[in-house]
Structure 1
Amino acid sequence: MTLMECAREVREAAYAPYSKFKVGAAVRGASGRIYRGCNVENVAYPEGTCAEAGAIAAMVAAGETTLTEVAVIADSPDPVPPCGGCRQKLAEFGQGDTPVLLGTTDGKIMTTTIQDLLPGRFDASHMENAE
């Protein structure tokens, strides 16, 4: 199963009773294993969880901290990029050249990278002088 197929499959499990906007994400860890996540809404909107964050959490819970590929899918006319917070989360666990596949349920695919999604990213090098 491809990474995008995994994202498509987990999208169906999304809990989106308020927006009705289901999103699925899958990340491939450095081991080659695939981790999946879907959005989980809450009536208190800021308390929801994005699909990308769920996939990253599954990867970390399994003991991995490096992702090598990302796929995100939603039912939208055009591919939907990750939100700002998820871009930073992807940057925490992936390299700038890590491929990010953005897809629609109708089959449109856009390929980008973490660097293109988050130029000028904040990373651990900015913390070198912190005491």
Structure 2
Amino acid sequence: MASALSDRQIEDLITQSLIARQNSYSPYSKFRVGAALRTIDGKVYQGCNVENASYGGAICAERTAFVKAVSEGHRRFVAIAVSCDFNHFITPCGICRQFMNEFGRGLEIFFVNDDRTYKRAILEDLLPYSFGPEDVLDNVK
């Protein structure tokens, strides 16, 4: 299935994720991650990973981007690009996949290498048989 985004929009997301990566606060792992999240109306929010000496207090780049967008009133998203310093494709961790699932299983995800090459997936394929809002809302009457 082809992307819903144009080549230019994909390239913009890639660029934005690479820029966001530069702001990473990762003194412990040295694993810098950047994300760029595109809303349904075309606005792009950047996020980076922010580590903490109490490791459980860290937040991933993907969730940072989502929190920024949601805190400004956005709830519908088209795609997210995720990049790191390594020249291999990384995918969102399990908690990020679950977090993103809250806003739609059809989200396009671009895994970006340092050389700007990428792979594309749909969230639903990365989180099959997921638990989402409809599972809770169907039971609330």
Common fold by TM > 0.5: yes
For residue 104 of structure 1, what is the amino acid of its counterpart?
N
Question: Is 1:125 aligned to 2:140, yes or no?
Answer: no
Counterpart position of 1:50: 60
TM-score by length of 2: 0.87
Q: Which of residues 64, 73, 76 in structure 1 aligns to 2:74? A: 64
Alignment match, 2:44: 34
Q: Deviations over 1:73-106 (max 9, x none)?
A: 0112321100000001111113x33211001113
Q: Are 2:84 and 1:83 aligned?
A: no
Aligned pairs for 1:5-44 (under 5 A) are 5-44=15-54
In structure 2, what residue type is equivalent to 1:41?
A: E
Of residues 120, 123, 140 in structure 2, which corresponds to 1:114?
A: 123
The equivalent residue for 2:114 is 105
In structure 2, distance between residues paired with 1:105 and 1:77: 5
> Aligned-residue CA RMSD in angstroms?
1.3
Residue identity (%): 36
Q: Tell me, what secondary structure is at the counterpart of 1:2?
A: helix
- The equivalent residue for 2:102 is 92
Offset at 1:66?
1.1
How many residue pairs get matched? 130
AA aligned opposite 1:111 = R
Question: Is the 8 Å Cα contact of residues 36 and 55 (structure 1) preserved in structure 2?
Answer: yes
- Whole-angstrom CA distance in 1 between matches of 2:140 and 2:40: 29
TM-score by length of 1: 0.93
Deviation at 1:130, TM superposition (A): 4.2
- Verify the 8 A CA contact 1:75 1:106 in the aligned structure 2: no
Letter in 1 for 2:67: A
Alpha-carbon offset, residue 31 of structure 1: 1.3
Q: Which runs of 4+ in 1 moved over 6 A?
A: none
